[in-house]
């Protein structure tokens, strides 16, 4: 998971047009969920438009906002509501209704997600066993008394106790750490709330599902190979300089730059699993004065 700056993509106009479908639906939802018929089904559809999908695909570079898997080659992806629109499942597995109905077409609440992160699916976990995983309607907070239950509530108060990492409002690097076997864990730090938030996010987003961990592990192996080439090439350049063999030195330098370019590609934000790539590549480059 990486930080994604929403300001890089204009907000789809149909979500902000005062007379548009999104704003009209929002007002209808407010009336519905504050009326006697609030337990009846309400159809949210304004968020699910081509314009919104295109904007989200650009914003997240065609990757899942949570696991960074490339989506568009195999599916169109899901328009994910960070705060669930229809119902909420707490960390105690309690179902609350309604959800954050007033945020159903709010641009800041919409992300692009893969099926595995967003939907409840039975999947194999990295350490063994098959479990039902995926975010779906889960939205745990650290204090249920702060839960914002209507459009008139205090969402800012709830934000302070939110237990899921939002990649668009905070930097996941502050919370998550990757291992060379592709696994992910909470970053070791004195802030216990950040650790809890990381652990909840890993669980809710299913970031330890076996195929995902294996994909990250394969990437780490590729990165480690290129790092070994980089370091050995640097040593070879030193030898070539001492020997005064300019063609050898030039050849090594060219190989060094090609390897650096390859490592830089791994950490580009449009590349899959760039967060784990960045964690393994940047320290090596910094230590060797190459970053």
Give the residue extent of every domain in the chain. 6-208, 211-287
What is the model's pLDDT at position 291?
65
Q: State mean pLDDT over 7-35.
A: 94
Phi, psi of 130 (to 5 degrees): -110, 130
d(CA 110, CA 207): 19
244: left (phi over 0), alpha (psi -120 to 50) or beta: left
| Cα-based distances in Å from 38 to 30, 31, 35, 129 | 10, 9, 5, 40
Q: State mean pLDDT over 5-11.
A: 95
131-157 tens-digit pLDDT: 887 899 999 999 999 999 999 999 999
Q: With bands split at pLDDT 50, 70 and 90, how would you rate the model's confidence at 129?
A: confident
- Beta bridge partners, 95, equal 89
Residue with tokens 């004065």: 289
End-to-end alpha carbon distance in the chain: 22
Mean pLDDT over each residue of the chain, to the nearest integer:
93
160-209 tens-digit pLDDT: 999 999 999 999 999 999 999 999 999 999 999 999 999 999 999 999 99
Question: Percent of the chain beyond pLDDT 90?
Answer: 82
What is the model's pLDDT at position 77?
84
What is the model's pLDDT at position 53?
93
Q: Do residues 33 and 150 make contact, with C-beta atoms less than 8 angstroms apart? A: yes
Burial degree of 6 (CB within 10 A; 0-12, 13-18, 19+)? middle
What is the model's pLDDT at position 59?
97
3-state secondary structure of 176: strand
pLDDT at residue 16 greater than cutoff 80 = yes
Q: Do residues 163 and 170 make contact, with C-beta atoms less than 8 angstroms apart? A: no
33-89 tens-digit pLDDT: 998 887 888 999 999 999 999 999 999 999 999 999 999 766 778 899 999 999 999
Strand (E) or helix (H) holding 276: helix 274-287
pLDDT at residue 211 greater than cutoff 90 = yes
Q: Do residues 4 and 63 make contact, with C-beta atoms less than 8 angstroms apart? A: no
Tokens encoding 1:
């998971």
Residues 162, 167, 170, 174: is their CA dihedral positive or negative?
Answer: positive
């Amino acid at each position: 998971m990486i930080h994604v700056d929403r300001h890089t993509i204009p907000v789809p106009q149909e979500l902000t047009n005062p007379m548009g479908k999104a704003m009209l639906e929002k007002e209808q939802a407010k009336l519905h969920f504050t009326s006697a018929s609030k337990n009846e089904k309400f159809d949210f559809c304004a968020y699910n438009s081509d314009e919104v999908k295109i904007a989200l695909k650009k914003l997240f570079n065609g990757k899942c906002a949570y696991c960074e898997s490339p989506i568009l080659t195999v599916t169109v992806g899901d328009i994910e509501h960070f705060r669930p629109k229809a119902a909420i499942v707490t960390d105690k597995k309690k179902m609350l209704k309604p959800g954050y109905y007033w945020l159903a077409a709010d641009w800041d609440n919409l992300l692009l997600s893969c099926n595995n992160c967003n939907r409840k699916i039975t999947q194999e976990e990295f350490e063994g066993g098959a479990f039902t995983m995926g975010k779906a309607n889960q939205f745990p907070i650290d204090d249920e008394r702060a839960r914002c239950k209507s459009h008139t509530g205090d969402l800012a108060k709830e934000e302070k106790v939110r237990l899921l990492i939002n990649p668009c409002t905070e930097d996941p690097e502050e919370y998550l750490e990757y291992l060379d076997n592709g696994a992910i864990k909470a970053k070791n730090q004195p802030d216990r709330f950040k650790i809890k938030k990381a652990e909840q996010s890993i669980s809710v987003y299913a970031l330890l599902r076996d195929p995902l961990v294996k994909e990250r592990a394969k990437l780490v192996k590729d990165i480690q190979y290129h790092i070994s080439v980089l370091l050995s090439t640097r040593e070879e350049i030193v030898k070539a300089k001492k020997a005064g063999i300019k063609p050898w030195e030039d050849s090594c330098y060219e190989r060094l730059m090609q390897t650096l370019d390859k490592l830089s590609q791994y950490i580009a934000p449009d590349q899959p699993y760039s967060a784990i790539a960045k964690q393994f590549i940047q320290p090596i480059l910094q230590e060797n004065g190459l970053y």
